[in-house]
Each structure stands twice: as structure tokens, then as C-alpha cells.
């Protein structure tokens, strides 16, 4: 319905018509939230890549400029710390390399004049996924790059003869709770429901009945 506005200007009565709001915006639908059990949302191409977070078992190369005694290769312990001369134990797990670098510089400031440090992740061992059940080689696998469910199954030597191919489950920790996603191996072979073959995240566990 048109809305009419009355405006009195210079002794004249003007009637101005205002077009109705777009029916498209008025009826715009909000996309539903993903259902539990459906494939998790993957990153959209062109978005920023998440920063790497250091974890236990990662191998780090620490270099202090002109300070060989403080430089070297260290492994992040299970408690998330590394040990360096003068600095003793330093928390590394849960920090990005840049954040750890800032902490090392701050810790070395009382001992060195204008310290300058570099942190390099030499080996990423903390980014592990797990596969168990009816596969040839169950166990933990290190994520060295983007790895999908089907790729992890291939890395584990494939499914055993009597594996339940239709009822594979991917377990993932999310906000302090476990979430499960269904994976139908047969439908992937038929090139159906390809969205279920999502990228795995560190800590994911694939269960093959």
C-alpha cells in the first residue's frame, strides 16, 4: 500500500507518494543454523588462513640474534612449556610463533641489551588426528596440510573387508563438548553427498565400525 505524506510549503498543499518497501527485503529469509550431524562448515576460499597455534610435541627453532647460547632447537613438552638458558621454562603451547617471540624478548630483556628473537616451527607434531576401528593401520596421524576424511582413510591403508562403510563417524570437540558427524563411504564412491568429505581439524577422531 502506498503511503501519502502531506507537506505544507509556501501556502500550497503537496501530496508526495512514497513507494512501498521492497517485498524481497521484507520477506528475506534467515539461513538456518547447521544441524548437529551434518558436515561442519569449511573455510570459504579467499578468507584469511587461521594463525598457527603451537602445541605439545612441536619442534621449534629459537634464534636470538648474536646470542648462540640462547639459540637452539627445542621440543614443546607435554605440559606446553619449553626450556631455554637464562629464561628457564617458558609457556609455548597455545601461543602463535609471534606471541611466543614477544614473550621471549620480554623475558630476555633483563639479561640482554635490545634482544631480538625469531621463532620458527620446524616440525608440526601437535596437529594430530586419529582413526580407529576397521582400517588396516589405525592410530594417530599428523596433519601436514589439508586432509579430508577420505584421505585419512587412505593414509590408514583403507577399510577392512567387513567394515561398515555406511556408518563411519567423525568425532570432534567443540566448545567443551563432543560433536559427531556421519560419513557414508559408499555415497562418496557414488559421488553423492560430497560435502560430508570435509577437512579434518586437529584432535578429530574417525571411528570405522
Q: Is the distance from CB of 115 to CB of 67 less than 8 angstroms?
A: yes
When the pLDDT of each residue in the chain is averaged and rounded to a whole number, the result is 82
How confident is the model over 20-75, as pLDDT tens digits?
Answer: 444 444 444 443 333 445 677 554 334 445 688 999 999 999 999 988 888 999 99
* Domain chopping of the chain, boundaries: 59-123, 128-208
3-state DSSP call for residue 91?
strand
Task: From residue 201, give the alpha-carbon distance in Å to each of 147, 182, 197, 206.
Answer: 8, 16, 12, 11
Q: Which residues contact 178 (CB under 8 A, 6 or more apart)?
A: 171, 172
Q: Which residues contact 19 (CB under 8 A, 6 or more apart)?
A: 2
CATH 3.10.560.10 fits 128-208, yes or no: yes
| Average pLDDT of the segment spanning 109-128 | 92
CATH fold of 59-123: wza like fold (3.30.1950)
3-state DSSP call for residue 102?
helix
In the structure, what pLDDT confidence band is assigned to residue 138 with cuts at 50, 70 and 90?
very high
In the structure, what pLDDT confidence band is assigned to residue 19 with cuts at 50, 70 and 90?
very low
Which pLDDT score, from 0 to 100, does residue 97 have? 95
Percent of the chain's residues with pLDDT above 70: 77
Say how far apart CA 166 and CA 192 lie, in whole Å: 13
- 59-123 against 128-208: fold identical: no
Record the pTM: 0.64
Amino acid at each position: 500500500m502506498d503511503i501519502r505524506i502531506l507537506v505544507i510549503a509556501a501556502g500550497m498543499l503537496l501530496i508526495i507518494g512514497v513507494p512501498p518497501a521492497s517485498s524481497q527485503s521484507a520477506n528475506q529469509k534467515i539461513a538456518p543454523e547447521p544441524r548437529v550431524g551434518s558436515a561442519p562448515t569449511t573455510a570459504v576460499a579467499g578468507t584469511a588462513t587461521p594463525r598457527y597455534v603451537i602445541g605439545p610435541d612441536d619442534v621449534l627453532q629459537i634464534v636470538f640474534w648474536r646470542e648462540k647460547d640462547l639459540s637452539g632447537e627445542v621440543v614443546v613438552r607435554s605440559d606446553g612449556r619449553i626450556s631455554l638458558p637464562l629464561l628457564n621454562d617458558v609457556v609455548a603451547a597455545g601461543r602463535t610463533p609471534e606471541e611466543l617471540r614477544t614473550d621471549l624478548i620480554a623475558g630476555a630483556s633483563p639479561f640482554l641489551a635490545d634482544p631480538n628473537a625469531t621463532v620458527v616451527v620446524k616440525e608440526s607434531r601437535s596437529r594430530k588426528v586419529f582413526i580407529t576401528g576397521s582400517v588396516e593401520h589405525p592410530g594417530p596421524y599428523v596433519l601436514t596440510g589439508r586432509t579430508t576424511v577420505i584421505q585419512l582413510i587412505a593414509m590408514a591403508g583403507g577399510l577392512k573387508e567387513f567394515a561398515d562403510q555406511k556408518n563411519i563417524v567423525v568425532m570432534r570437540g567443540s566448545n567443551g563438548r563432543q560433536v559427531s558427524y556421519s560419513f557414508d563411504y559408499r555415497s562418496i564412491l557414488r559421488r553423492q553427498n560430497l560435502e560430508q568429505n570435509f577437512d579434518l581439524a586437529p584432535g578429530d577422531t574417525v571411528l570405522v565400525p
